């Protein structure tokens, strides 16, 4: 294959040529490691060990596998990105990273780090690599914890809605229940609907798994991709509504200690499995309809 002198070929499998070990690339690699190691250590110890971020290691492992899958056996022309654009793309996340590192805002620091790493990939390999691995790059972002302000904005309406729905249903069934914002009162017990119970964990985790599932099964079908991605959010909300309702009833009949113990986490796990099964079922049920729509579009 004839290649212009200003570019070279990246043989991804086997690994790259010796020219990738030039001084500039080594400096960029060391700089990337300086950003990556301390930040990801904090993410792993502070976020991945919690219920909210427990999906992080799974996303990281499957995301790196997706990168390998996209690049395996391919020869992609290495044309380093445009200097001006590369500097502009790198300057913004680096500035955010420095500010977030100084102020200790991990949720901004990790995304700034990720943006800087992606910019470094563009600097070294150019836009062809970015286009080749665009899905793994988007998917890997699910491994990072979202900013607290985003969490608050997203979960507050969900928490209030779930609390109101649960109390309305309980009142219809004759239970002594009432709600005030995200607080549910039933009998002598008072429960706070936290973000974990309002669907945020399930939305993030379920969305990540659904995106990866659609990537494996419907990679070339944007319509199926959209259907499954959109279905994940209401399914997660409904599943967590059932979870909250079950925990309220458990608290009413067996006490707060029982509801906040093993059954609390077990209910979340069961509801997540049910939600994931519902997504798979929607995929199977919607496939004939999608195929008919595609056939009609072709004719």
pLDDT at 202 over 70: no
User: What is d(CA 291, CA 181) in angstroms, rounded to the nearest whole number?
Assistant: 44
> 263 pLDDT exceeds 80?
no
Is the pLDDT at 22 greater than 70? The verdict is: no
In this predicted structure, what is the pLDDT of residue 65?
92
Q: Which of 69, 79, 89, 197 is catalytic?
A: 197
Average pLDDT of the chain is: 78
Q: Is the pLDDT of residue 214 over 50?
A: yes
pLDDT over 70 percentage in the chain: 80
DSSP assignment of the chain: ----TT-EEEE-SSPPPGGGGSHHHHHHHHHHHHHHHHHHHHHHHHTTTSTTTTTHHHHHHHHHHHHHHHHTT-EEEE-PPPHHHHHHHHHHHHHHHHHHHHHT-HHHHHHHHHHHHHHHHHHHH-HHHHHHTHHHHHHHGGGSPPPHHHHHHHHHHHHHHHHHHHHHHHHHTT--EEEETTEEEETTEEEE--TTTTTHHHHHHHHHHHHHHHHHH-TT-HHHHHHHHHHHHHHHHHHHHHHHHHHHHHHHHH-HHHHTTHHHHHHHHHHHHHHHHHHHHHHHHHHHHHHHHHHHHH-
Is residue 89 over pLDDT 80? yes
Active-site choice (69, 75, 131, 243):
243
Among 10, 1, 2, which residue's Cα sits nearest to residue 79? Answer: 10
Looking at the DSSP assignment, which residues form a beta bridge with residue 220? none
Confidence (pLDDT) at 244: 85
pLDDT of residue 114: 92
Joined tokens for residue 97: 């990273």
Mean pLDDT value of segment 156-165: 82
Tell me if the pTM is above 0.85: no
219 belongs to the catalytic site: no
- pLDDT > 90: what percent of the chain? 6
At 7 the pLDDT is: 44
Token pair listed for 8: 């070279």
Most confident segment among 35-49, 69-83, 223-237: 35-49
The confidence score (pLDDT) of residue 15 equals 43
Over residues 113-136, the pLDDT tens digits come to 999 888 888 887 888 888 888 888
Distance of alpha carbon 103 from alpha carbon 72, whole angstroms: 40
**Whether pLDDT at 20 is above 70:** no
- Contact residues for 258 (Cβ-Cβ < 8 A; gap 6+): 250, 251
pLDDT at position 201: 60
Q: What average pLDDT does range 34-43 have in this prediction? A: 87
* pLDDT at residue 172, as a whole number: 92
Q: What is the pLDDT averaged over residues 166-176?
A: 90
Question: Does residue 243 have an active-site annotation?
Answer: yes
Residue located via tokens 């006490």: 255
- Would you place residue 17 in the very low, low, confident or very high pLDDT band (cuts 50, 70, 90)? very low
């Amino acid at each position: 294959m004839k290649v212009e002198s200003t570019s070279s070929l990246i043989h991804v499998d086997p690994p790259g040529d010796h020219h990738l070990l030039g001084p500039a690339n080594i400096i960029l690699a060391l700089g990337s490691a300086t950003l990556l190691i301390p930040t990801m250590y904090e993410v792993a110890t502070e976020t991945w060990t919690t219920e909210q971020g427990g999906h992080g290691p799974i996303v990281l492992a499957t995301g790196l596998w997706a990168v390998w899958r996209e690049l395996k056996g391919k020869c992609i022309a290495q044309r380093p990105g445009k200097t001006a654009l590369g500097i502009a793309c790198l300057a913004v996340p680096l500035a955010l990273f420095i500010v977030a590192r100084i102020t200790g805002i991990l949720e901004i620091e990790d995304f700034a780090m990720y943006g800087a790493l992606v910019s470094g990939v563009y600097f070294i390999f150019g836009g062809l690599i970015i286009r080749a691995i665009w899905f793994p790059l988007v998917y890997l972002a699910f491994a990072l914890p979202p900013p607290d302000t985003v969490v608050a904005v997203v979960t507050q309406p969900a928490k209030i809605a779930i609390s109101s729905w649960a109390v309305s249903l309980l009142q219809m069934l004759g239970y002594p229940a009432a709600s005030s914002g995200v607080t549910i009162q039933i009998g002598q017990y008072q429960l706070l609907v936290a973000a974990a119970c309002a669907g945020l964990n399930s939305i993030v985790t379920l969305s990540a798994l659904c995106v990866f599932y659609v990537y494996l099964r419907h990679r070339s079908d944007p319509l199926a991709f959209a259907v499954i991605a959109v279905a994940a959010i209401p399914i997660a909300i409904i599943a967590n509504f059932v979870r909250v309702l079950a925990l309220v009833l458990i608290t009413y009949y067996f006490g707060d200690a029982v509801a906040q113990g093993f059954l609390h986490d077990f209910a979340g796990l069961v509801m997540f499995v049910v939600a994931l099964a519902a997504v798979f079922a929607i995929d199977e049920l919607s496939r004939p309809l999608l195929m008919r729509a595609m056939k009609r579009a072709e004719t």
